Structures are given as structure tokens and as C-alpha cells.
Amino acid sequence: MEKTKSYSGLFIINPDKEEAIDEVKGKITSIITENSGKIAKESLMGKRQLAYPIQKKQTGIYYEVTFSAPPEKVAAMSRQFRIYTDVMRALIDKQG
């Protein structure tokens, strides 16, 4: 059995994708589950003003996911989130 650790992921989604937010959320959760992750909690925090422009955008849609996953899979997840163009920023932080 693989050891898993708890993580918190904060994603800033491109505000142009507001109409297709469920599709983007589904893609984020599928990346986590494809990498042996189990989602504990997810929260859509809504559109917020950014501290500085990212990809020439002043706002972003914040989405938070708490999940558990094997530590060796987290690097692969981070790489996939960087490639996914609808996610402007992804921060994955270990809990506890």
C-alpha cells in the first residue's frame, strides 16, 4: 500500500473560462485522481482581483482543493498543471 500525504492546492483559473468553470474544475480533479490522489474537499472561491497581472489578466477565478496523494506523484501533478493553459497559477502545499 502506498503512503499518502495531505495536500492543499490553490488554482488561479483564467477568468475567460468563467462560462466553462465546471469543465476546468473537472480537468483539475481528473489530473489529481489520475495520479492516485483522493479529493477530500473542494471550494470555488470566485473571481478575485490579482495582486499583479498574470498573462495580462487583472482578475482570476480562485479554486481550492484539499487532497491526499503519494508524495512521488505530486511533482507529476504540478507539471501537468503548468502545462494546462486554463490554469494561470497552481500552488500545491503539503499540510501538517
Q: What is the pLDDT of residues 35-90, one digit of tens each?
A: 999 999 999 999 999 999 999 999 999 999 999 999 999 999 999 999 999 999 99
CA distance 93 to 66: 10
pLDDT of residue 80: 96
**What structural domains does the chain harbor?**
5-94 (3.30.70.60)
Contact 18, 61 (CB under 8 A): yes
Residue 15: name the closest of 83, 79, 87 by CA: 87
CA distances in angstroms from 11 to 1, 60, 71, listed in the order given: 29, 9, 19
Q: Where are the beta strands (DSSP E) in 1-96?
A: 5-13, 38-54, 57-69, 87-94
Given a cut of 90, whether residue 96 has pLDDT beyond it is no
pLDDT at 1 > cutoff 60: no
Determine the pLDDT at residue 2: 63
